[in-house]
């Protein structure tokens, strides 16, 4: 009888030890995965799925807006990027002592050149956009609808 109870207790000890080892192993192996899942999540607000990585400092602004009136502008600068298959583009102004050092241009196919060209944009400032704040511009910028785009001679 003593021999049967010793065998039963050794089996219980064996299986409980095996289960404990498996559980501990799963926690040790899965910990990096849990941390990755905790720092990466999907934000489905505004019907736009995007992955947010908290380790990087994204620009968190709520300045996307349209002005009540349009303001005429004549701004010159260097094309730093093209968007929407070249229809729109980003400009870095020559003058750094202004409120809008960079701006987004809805070019309406008035400029078909490459980045790096110097241009003068005659148009209307219609609002602020944060569309490329985390990539090209690094900030929210003015949005201009171009009436005329003039390529400047260097």
Q: Is 97 exposed, middle or buried (0-12, 13-18, 19+ CB in 10 A)?
A: exposed
Q: How far apart are CA 20 and CA 16, in angstroms?
A: 6
The answer on 69 and 45 residing in a single domain is no
pLDDT digits over 21-64, tens only? 877 776 666 555 555 444 444 444 444 444 444 444 545 556 67
* 148 — pLDDT class (breaks 50, 70, 90): very high
Q: Is the pLDDT of residue 1 over 70?
A: no
Residue 38: the pLDDT is 47
**Residue 58 forms part of a structural domain:** no
Q: Spell out the residues 6+ positions from residue 53 whose beta carbon is closer than 8 angstroms to its own.
A: 39, 40
Look up tokens 């003015």; give the residue.
142
CB contact at 8 A, 89 and 83: yes
Mean pLDDT of 82-99: 85
Q: Where are the alpha helices (DSSP H) in 1-49?
A: 2-39
The answer on 91 and 25 residing in a single domain is no
CA angle 77, 127, 111 (to 5 degrees): 40
**Residue 60 forms part of a structural domain:** no
What separation in angstroms does the CA of 93 have from each of 15, 112, 146, 148? 72, 19, 15, 16
The pTM is what? 0.59
CB contact at 8 A, 136 and 81: yes
**Domain of residue 79, residue span:** 65-151
**Residue 71 forms part of a structural domain:** yes
The answer on 45 and 69 residing in a single domain is no
What separation in angstroms does the CA of 122 have from each of 85, 126, 128? 21, 13, 17
| Residue 99 DSSP one-character state | S
Q: Spell out the residues 6+ positions from residue 37 whose beta carbon is closer than 8 angstroms to its own.
A: none
The answer on 122 and 46 residing in a single domain is no
**Residue 24 forms part of a structural domain:** yes
């Amino acid at each position: 009888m003593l021999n049967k109870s010793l065998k039963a207790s050794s089996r219980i000890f064996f299986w409980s030890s095996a289960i404990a080892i498996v559980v501990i192993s799963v926690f040790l192996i899965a910990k990096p995965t849990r941390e990755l899942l905790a720092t990466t999540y999907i934000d489905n607000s505004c019907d736009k799925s995007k992955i947010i990585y908290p380790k990087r400092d994204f620009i968190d602004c709520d300045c996307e807006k349209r002005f009540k009136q349009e303001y005429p502008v004549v701004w010159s600068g260097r094309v730093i990027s093209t968007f929407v298959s070249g229809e729109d583009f980003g400009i870095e102004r020559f003058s750094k002592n202004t409120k809008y050092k960079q701006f987004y241009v809805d070019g309406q196919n008035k400029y078909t050149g490459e980045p790096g060209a110097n241009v003068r944009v005659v148009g209307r400032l219609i609002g602020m956009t944060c569309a490329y704040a985390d990539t090209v511009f690094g900030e929210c910028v003015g949005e201009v609808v171009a009436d005329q785009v003039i390529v400047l001679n260097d």
